[in-house]
Structure 1
Amino acid sequence: MQYKPNIYRQTSHIVGFTDYLKPPKAFPVNVEELLWRASMSPRIRGHPFHLVPKVAFMFLATNQTSNVKKVDRNARMHPESPMFHERRIPSQEVEWGKVSLIEAVSRLLANALLDISNQHFVLLSETCIPLYNFSTVYSYLINSTRTFVEVFDDPSSVRYYLSNHTRITVDQWRKGWAWFAIDREVAIESISDRKYFPEFLKCKGYCFPDEHYLPTFVHLKFAARNANRTLTWVDWSKGGPHPMEYRSPNVTAALLSSLRSGYGRKCEYNGRSTDVCFLFARKFMPDTLDNLLRLAPQIMYFSI
């Protein structure tokens, strides 16, 4: 009598649809496995269930996390709260100006993509603060028809240096600041990129890929959908390699009101002109936290 193996023996535990949708509780340690899992995307548009879209706030942070409490106090997401439970990405060595920065961002995006409810992805630092309350920020991002990656043509020596060592031509290079807000499609395509991302990894020195990779990638793949601007205010007026740092004496009602209005700037949102051009601002040092919490209810309408 020929033995026929029971092909159902290994399927005694059936994973239901609800369980399948939940992000893994333990994130994969192996980066290749993580990126492969995160790159999966349904081919059918829409969802056969009620999905409440979420915004993933991703922090590329040092050990100082004071302002993370401020960014997330209104959303109840500061590091001590349950909202950060099992959401901390294991640290790896990251060096300013080097390719380890874009590798870190890729890991952040991949982990956030594991939750299918995350539809928009915002990169922040520990020195970032919100300029509007959570409901305003959420509505602005969820309802936007554009992604927000700053992209501009910068004929610098860095670009020409990189072009000599990669297959990316001089005319393809674009630059922009690292702080972005992108949708799920752009995020998936970015962490799945095996054409341009490896070219940036060839750089062994200070080539500042965090200011070049995503702007170049979005310019080449998603130019028509991008707003070509960042949602994070940064003051470069003093020059130098780093932006202005805000300290406690700087934080006044007048400053926050000016930042909220973008110092009188106008921009486009869903085809209309608006003065709400920035949702976040940096670099606010840890000693600004008390002033920010005191002014938040009256200026930014936070419920503290």
Structure 2
Amino acid sequence: MQKVQWGSVSMVEAERRLLANALLDFSNQRFVLFSESCIPLFNFSTIYSYLINSSKNFVESFDLPGPTGCGRYRHQMSPTITIQQWKKGSQWFEMDRDIAMEVVSDTKYFPLFQKHCKSSCCADEHYLPTFVSIRFSERNSNRSLTWVDWSKGGIHPAKFVRTDVTIEVLEKMRSGRKCEYNGNITNVCFLFARKVTPTALGRLMRFAPKVMQFNP
């Protein structure tokens, strides 16, 4: 059994295996990657409708100058992947079946990441953003559906413990921004949030029926 290491290409290999197994069920049409610290921000029917009716995929992809963006590019990847094509983004993706199949069958771009994107390259933050940007930019929203708080800086987003979880915070996660969905402007930009610790479960269960319209 291969060990998965944070920031390494083994994380992308694990994601591809997860997708490959999920694709075996032909009824699966949308694929979302979560972590153990993710929570839903809406009830199931709202999330399902948002995903299944979307005309776009949700893989965050953007240009980032500096050492944690373009500085991670490996010139050995050229000319197949140029520095102009190199993208960064959150690893918490949502994609449709067609793109998921292309990800697991990719034999052109992924081997370059396996060979050259090592050590501080952080393949999990660059492979999917780069691959989707090159192959499917017109079908991608270039944003993630998972809300995170980077305001405190550092290499990891902020954690939410019990006292951090309030109705006001949850409402901010649910509707605190504007974005585009199927050609229209909406304030429903995030369906999930992280990093929420187990200590917050009690308060989440208390607020869920009122804020997220979960069944009590």
The TM-score by the shorter chain falls in which range? over 0.9
* Length, aligned pairs only: 212
Partner in structure 2 of residue 174 of structure 1 = 87
TM-score, structure 2 as length reference:
0.95
The CA deviation at 1:104 is 0.6
> For 2:148 and 2:159, how far apart are their aligned partners in 1?
9
Larger radius of gyration: 1
TM-score, structure 1 as length reference:
0.68
Instruction: State the Cα deviation string for residues 16-57 of structure 1 (Å, max 9, x = none).
Output: xxxxxxxxxxxxxxxxxxxxxxxxxxxxxxxxxxxxxxxxxx
> For 2:46 and 2:210, how far apart are their aligned partners in 1?
15
Q: Is the CA contact 1:160–1:170 (under 8 Å) kept in the aligned structure 2? A: no
The residue correspondences of 1:158-173 to structure 2 (distance < 5 A) are 159-167=70-78, 168-173=81-86
Q: Go from structure 1 to structure 2 and tell me whether the alpha carbon gap of 1:143 and 1:216 turns closer, same or farther (over 3 Å shift).
A: same
Partner in structure 1 of residue 133 of structure 2 = 219
The residue correspondences of 1:119-134 to structure 2 (distance < 5 A) are 119-134=29-44
Partner in structure 1 of residue 101 of structure 2 = 188
Tell me the amino acid that sits aligned with residue 128 of structure 2. L
Q: Secondary structure at the match of 2:121?
A: coil
- % identical aligned pairs: 58
Query: What RMSD, in angstroms, separates the aligned Cα atoms of the two structures?
Result: 1.2
> For 1:107 and 1:292, how far apart are their aligned partners in 2?
31
Partner in structure 2 of residue 238 of structure 1 = 152
> For 2:144 and 2:49, how far apart are their aligned partners in 1?
17
Q: Is the CA contact 1:98–1:208 (under 8 Å) kept in the aligned structure 2? A: yes
Tell me the amino acid that sits aligned with residue 196 of structure 1. Y
Partner in structure 2 of residue 43 of structure 1 = none
The CA deviation at 1:92 is 4.2
Q: Secondary structure at the match of 1:273?
A: strand
> For 1:270 and 1:113, how far apart are their aligned partners in 2?
25
Structure 1 residue aligned with 2:10, among 80, 96, 100?
A: 100
Instruction: State the Cα deviation string for residues 115-155 of structure 1 (Å, max 9, x = none).
Output: 01000000010000000000000000000000001110112
Partner in structure 2 of residue 199 of structure 1 = 112
Structure 1 unaligned runs (5+)?
1-90
Structure 2 unaligned runs (5+)?
none
The CA deviation at 1:193 is 0.5
> For 2:2 and 2:210, how far apart are their aligned partners in 1?
39
- Greater length-normalized contact order (CA 8 Å, ≥ 6 residues apart): 2
Q: Is the CA contact 1:246–1:288 (under 8 Å) kept in the aligned structure 2? A: yes
Q: Go from structure 1 to structure 2 and tell me whether the alpha carbon gap of 1:188 and 1:294 turns closer, same or farther (over 3 Å shift).
A: same
Partner in structure 2 of residue 228 of structure 1 = 142
Instruction: State the Cα deviation string for residues 137-179 of structure 1 (Å, max 9, x = none).
Output: 0000000000001110112335344332323211110110111
> For 2:138 and 2:66, how far apart are their aligned partners in 1?
25
